[in-house]
A and B are shown apart, each in its own frame.
Chain A
Amino acid sequence: MIPAAFDYQAPDTVADALAALSSGADEVKVLAGGQSLIPVLRLRMAAPSLIVDLGRIPELSGVSDDGDAIMIGAMTTHDQVTHDPLIAEHAALLARAAETVADPQVRHLGTFGGSLAHADPAGDMPAAALALNAEMMITGSQGERTVAAKDFFVGLFETAVGEDEILTSIRVPKHTGWGSHYEKFNRVAQQWSIVGVAATLRLDGGTIAEAGIALTNMGLTPIRASAVEQALVGRPPNEDAVRQAAEQAAAGTHPPSDANGDADYRRHLAAVLTRRAVLAAAG
């Protein structure tokens, strides 16, 4: 790998990292797990003058209980998300999505926060975070602010994180006892999602009481399938009811067309995969 030359800093604290971001360098890139940034550097599709590596800031990793929510450090790896007991209990959808990311090597290096901040429309974690109504804790020189997942993903590879800010942690409301499933569709295991569906449900007395459904790679950002959610609530999680609700999955979406599938095919997939995801989440 021979990228263009850049300066490199690996601060120990978030404060030092923020200082580096504001140091006046031409173009600064934040390095988390490097699973997206390093290939871009290798291909010389980006030539930042400074790279700030968050890998040596211990406070950015790990999962903790925060009352009615859990807090997940941005540098927590996909593998940790997959196996963390707090996540398993209170936000299992994240584990279901994280375990589908690429391959074991990538999951041991790639991070939850990095995946959200990169905002690849074909990445799996953004839809899962959106379905769970996660809140993004963003720190800048002016202090910390909180942005809801629905406002965080702004466009293609574009988020609410400013140039002098860092996504430090993700607050996920507890979904204790909810059923969860991430239905990923791709052609080979290491490939990005052609379409993915994140689904989490709370059942009450044989009917669906609450539902969170979000779609991967059906537009420039992850998309909340609100119509499906509304159609599901109050219905039993059986094949017919779910099929009917899932038919609205692609409503209002503008999916891409590429060698893996055109927009019409993706809309079709969204309906099929939503049905499967919901039925699997309902157990």
Chain B
Amino acid sequence: MTTTADRRSAEIGAPRTRKEDRHLLTGRTRWTANITLPGMLHLAMVRSTVAHARITGIDTSAAKRAPGVAGVFTGTEIADAQGASLPCVWPVTPDQVAPPHPAMAVETVNFLGEIVACVAARSATEARDAAELVDVEYGELPVVTDLAVAAADQEVIHPDLGTNRSAHWVFDSAAAGTGGDVDSAISAARESGVVVERTYRQQRVIPAFMEPRSVAVDPTGEQTTVWSSTQIPHILKLILAMTTGLPESKLRVVAPDVGGGFGGKLEVTPEEMITLVVAGRLGKPCAYAETRSESLMGAHHGRDQIQKLTLAATRDGTVTAFKVELTANMGAYLGLTTPGIPILGAFMYNAIYKFPAYRFTCDNVFTNTVWTDAYRGAGRPEATFAIERMMDELAAELDLEPLALREKNWIRHEEFPFTTVAGMEYDSGNYEAATAKARDLFGYDDLRAEQAKRRADGDPVQLGIGISTYTEMCGLAPSRVLGALSFGSGGWEHASIRMLPTGKVEVVAGVSPHGQGHETSWSQIVADRLGVPFEDVEILHGDTGVSARGLDTYGSRTLVVGGIAVVKAIDKVIEKARPIAAHLLEADPDDLEFANGTFTVKGTGKGKHISELALAVFLAHDLPDGVEASLDAEATFDPANFSFPHGTHLCAVEVDTETGRTTIRRYVAVDDCGVVVNPMLVDGQVHGGLAQGISQALFEEALYDENGTLVTGSFVDYLLPSAADLPSYLTDRTETPATSNPLGVKGVGEAGTIAATPCVVNAIVDAVRHLGVDDVPMPCTPQRVWAAIDQARERSAARPSGGAQ
């Protein structure tokens, strides 16, 4: 582990400002929606106005006659070209059932906002106007939007399936041989220990990326080019080819500047497929850019699970078993990875703890809502919420200090590597160090003292302290593990290095950023490993015509998988350069050492810089026999294990008991993401992640009414916080290098989101627990907090002896 520390240079660990910001901040951007091609047509989608119906007729005649219209298409008309179904690449069980998911609805619509027709016109305005003239007749069917109701199967949404239940997935530690039997441990605890049972709701949220999704397709070249605001250009290319029958070699996909994704652009969308099909049909470039309203109703949502939880422990607080029974809302269809999202959490409910027995079951259920899929953290925030809330509940039940309870159960630093009850091998971690640092920065003891005083004084504003000692699994993913989980892809990543004759370096990356800052952090890695100036490194990405191989960006994988591919490619470049340097220096290759970009003959001052060798290779006038005239190299890296960042977050809230309003007073995040390449980028990821995690706790909720209408269909009702609504965060780090990769790095893109939600809710409950409250459903709106206090007081008043103190 010390080797990584020794490797640190001026570049690794430097808080460099982002090199991509110059063009992003000055508006010299290349968003998909800004792409203009000769003769380009604009599409507008006609979306269903009902949540569940048979399409009994579509009259497109008026729209076809409207000014500027080049074509109007219904699902029936493009059914063959669009293929039977958009793909779901993650069938979680062999007996999983799912309906076909056509890009454009053909016979039925199953959620409000589903596309039923499409207009292509010479301008976006004409397309939008004509779309209003398309007249769709619906034969309405019963609507089921409630998850629990759907799970009961009284109304079956997709009659061919005979059930709303798509799959039932189980992990059991006794069966897996990773732990004991949950039910017997719970029975034992009922006799002599303690059992805490709770049901939590992970409300439905919306990814709400800043740039709405858009796509442009040019079918006029030999290759059809697709530009899309996507996280996954390579996967999109492959799936468009497989679904439409177009030869993969005839497709090129480009993700130009992409303004945020958060998992919301980890999808092969109906809009992409329809634009491709219509462009092909009309033989002209076509573009589509969604409105924000369309994005909220028609792009996939996240979370939406019911968690039934049972935690068993001895009276001294040693956890003996954890049982998780999950019901997960798929929505109306399965998207690219929909059924696997809750399963991604299955290995994380045991978190940082040494639980001897664990059982996880998940029922995936269809409803008449837009489908759910990846959203920042994807499965792991839900798991972290469940266990961190339950550890607080257990502490309250046993009247133990919640941090001490956690420490009693967590994996100690000297116990790593540690194989968990869920079968994961955690390579490294130091929960003691992160917690000690967070406690100190937070002023934990002083805040506890203030809390006690406010309670004693009966202050209308109560103080609560929330704890989240999280870990997560990221860096998706070892290909063998994905195979074992029936995921339809590998988890490797690819990179290549081009050594240019002028000494500049091009890195071709398989992953592509949508706001993270890869261009900066990877340039730092290349500058460090190859000994070239930061400014001389160019990162090329997001275009399958340039970057042939890649599995794209999600799951905090860029640095820990893609970055390692870069390192491996650099290593190859250095090894290719070595014999050439030896030849030019008239030395034995074994006598050369490479440092700071220069091969030096040991014990002499003689050396050649890598840029000199790049020029020598370009000229090729004097190369050793049998050596190719290129230093370029490529590498594919498949991680042997996931990455397990962790940390301790502490949150202090003030709860106004008169109104129920929560105000975050202090938020401390101490994260351990191993070796840090750029602390400023890490802080940025943590800050943004915290905002999203806090926002799930306090603000965001996608709500459908009983007719299947998205009530929160605009940002007037779907509340997103601005800077004015969030605290100033105090962030710090501990550094326990990963042992699973040569840089010692861990993923950090999702950590803040994963940690923050339970931290805030724990703080709110802690503020009012003495009033008799043990839960507030998310989002913890002022009314819900106030009602929880009010109901607790009523319960307390109803009890003869007074109850809660």
Of B124, B132, B699, B786, which contacts A44 at CB under 8 A? B132
Is B29 close to A, CB under 8 A? no
Of A185, A191, A259, which contacts B711 at CB under 8 A? A259
Is B794 close to A, CB under 8 A? no
Given contacts A4-B129, A188-B719, contact A265 B725 (CB under 8 A): no
Is B658 close to A, CB under 8 A? yes
56-84 of chain A: CB within 8 A of chain B: none
Of A4, A259, A265, which contacts B786 at CB under 8 A? A265
The answer on a CB contact under 8 Å between B781 and A190 is no
The answer on a CB contact under 8 Å between B699 and A187 is yes
The answer on a CB contact under 8 Å between B783 and A190 is no
Q: Which of B291, B711, B782 has the most CB of A within 10 A?
A: B782
Is B801 close to A, CB under 8 A? no
Q: How far apart are the CA atoms of A129 and B787 in the complex, in Å?
A: 32
701-723 of chain B: CB within 8 A of chain A: 701, 703, 711-712, 714, 716-717, 719-722
Nearest A residue to B723 by beta-carbon distance? A189
Nearest B residue to A103 by beta-carbon distance? B722
**What is the size, in residues, of chain B's interface with A at 8 Å between Cβ atoms?**
30
Contacts of A230 in B (CB 8 A): none
Is A137 close to B, CB under 8 A? no
Of B658, B711, B714, B722, which contacts A190 at CB under 8 A? B722
Is B724 close to A, CB under 8 A? yes
The answer on a CB contact under 8 Å between B725 and A2 is no
**A268–chain B nearest beta-carbon distance, Å:** 7
Contacts of B701 in A (CB 8 A): 259
Q: How far apart are the CA atoms of A5 and B721 in the complex, in Å?
A: 33
Encode contact with A along B280-304: 1 for CB under 8 Å, 0 otherwise: 0000000000010100000000000
Contacts of A272 in B (CB 8 A): 658-659
Contacts of B711 in A (CB 8 A): 259
Q: How far apart are the CA atoms of A182 and B782 in the complex, in Å?
A: 19
Given contacts A4-B129, A259-B703, contact A189 B782 (CB under 8 A): no
**B156–chain A nearest beta-carbon distance, Å:** 29
Is B125 close to A, CB under 8 A? yes
Nearest B residue to A271 by beta-carbon distance? B658
Q: How far apart are the CA atoms of A30 and B528 in the complex, in Å?
A: 62
Nearest B residue to A188 by beta-carbon distance? B725
**What is the size, in residues, of chain A's interface with B at 8 Å between Cβ atoms?**
25
Is A252 close to B, CB under 8 A? no
Given contacts A269-B659, A272-B659, contact A2 B124 (CB under 8 A): yes
Encode contact with A along B592-633: 1 for CB under 8 Å, 0 otherwise: 000000000000000000000000000000000000000000
Q: How far apart are the CA atoms of A42 and B715 in the complex, in Å?
A: 13
Nearest B residue to A194 by beta-carbon distance? B782
The answer on a CB contact under 8 Å between A259 and B699 is no
Is B122 close to A, CB under 8 A? no
**Which applies to chain B's interface (DSSP): helix, strand, loop or mixed?**
loop
35-60 of chain A: CB within 8 A of chain B: 39, 42-44
**A271–chain B nearest beta-carbon distance, Å:** 9
Q: How far apart are the CA atoms of A132 and B719 in the complex, in Å?
A: 32
The answer on a CB contact under 8 Å between A259 and B725 is no
Encode contact with A along B715-749: 1 for CB under 8 Å, 0 otherwise: 01101111011000000000000000000000000
Is A155 close to B, CB under 8 A? no
Contacts of B782 in A (CB 8 A): 185, 187, 194, 261
The answer on a CB contact under 8 Å between A260 and B783 is yes
Is B128 close to A, CB under 8 A? yes
Given contacts A43-B293, A187-B719, A259-B717, contact A5 B783 (CB under 8 A): no
Contacts of A273 in B (CB 8 A): 659
Contacts of B661 in A (CB 8 A): 185
Q: Which of B659, B698, B722 has the most CB of A within 10 A?
A: B659
Q: How far apart are the CA atoms of A190 and B659 in the complex, in Å?
A: 19
Nearest A residue to B713 by beta-carbon distance? A43
Given contacts A188-B720, A259-B717, contact A268 B786 (CB under 8 A): yes
Q: How far apart are the CA atoms of A263 and B310 in the complex, in Å?
A: 36
Given contacts A189-B722, A190-B722, contact A261 B783 (CB under 8 A): yes
Is A112 close to B, CB under 8 A? no
Contacts of A178 in B (CB 8 A): none
Is A192 close to B, CB under 8 A? yes
501-551 of chain B: CB within 8 A of chain A: none
Q: How far apart are the CA atoms of A269 and B658 in the complex, in Å?
A: 8
The answer on a CB contact under 8 Å between A5 and B129 is yes
Q: How far apart are the CA atoms of A5 and B67 in the complex, in Å?
A: 13
**A269–chain B nearest beta-carbon distance, Å:** 6
155-202 of chain A: CB within 8 A of chain B: 185, 187-192, 194
Q: How far apart are the CA atoms of A19 and B175 in the complex, in Å?
A: 82
Nearest B residue to A261 by beta-carbon distance? B783
Encode contact with A along B653-681: 1 for CB under 8 Å, 0 otherwise: 00000110100000000000000000000
Q: How far apart are the CA atoms of A39 and B717 in the complex, in Å?
A: 13
Contacts of B698 in A (CB 8 A): 187
The answer on a CB contact under 8 Å between A188 and B722 is yes
Contacts of B717 in A (CB 8 A): 259
Contacts of B124 in A (CB 8 A): 2
Given contacts A187-B782, A188-B699, A260-B781, contact A2 B722 (CB under 8 A): no
The answer on a CB contact under 8 Å between B125 and A2 is yes
Q: How far apart are the CA atoms of A5 and B725 in the complex, in Å?
A: 37
Q: How far apart are the CA atoms of A42 and B128 in the complex, in Å?
A: 11
**B503–chain A nearest beta-carbon distance, Å:** 47
Q: How far apart are the CA atoms of A268 and B698 in the complex, in Å?
A: 21
769-803 of chain B: CB within 8 A of chain A: 781-783, 786-787
Contacts of B716 in A (CB 8 A): 39, 191-192
**A35–chain B nearest beta-carbon distance, Å:** 12
Q: How far apart are the CA atoms of A43 and B291 in the complex, in Å?
A: 9
Nearest B residue to A47 by beta-carbon distance? B132
Given contacts A43-B293, A259-B703, A265-B786, contact A187 B781 (CB under 8 A): yes
Nearest A residue to B661 by beta-carbon distance? A185
Is A262 close to B, CB under 8 A? yes
The answer on a CB contact under 8 Å between B125 and A265 is no
**A4–chain B nearest beta-carbon distance, Å:** 7
Encode contact with B along A93-129: 1 for CB under 8 Å, 0 otherwise: 0000000000100000000000000000000000000
Contacts of A191 in B (CB 8 A): 716, 719
Some 11 contacts from A to B, beta carbons below 8 A apart, are A4-B129, A39-B716, A185-B661, A187-B719, A188-B699, A188-B725, A189-B725, A190-B722, A191-B719, A259-B712, A265-B786
- 10 pairs of A and B residues whose beta carbons are closest in the complex: A189-B724, A2-B128, A261-B783, A188-B725, A265-B783, A272-B658, A188-B719, A188-B721, A2-B125, A189-B725
5 further A-B contacts with Cβ under 8 Å, apart from A190-B724, A260-B781, are A188-B721, A189-B725, A190-B722, A259-B701, A261-B783
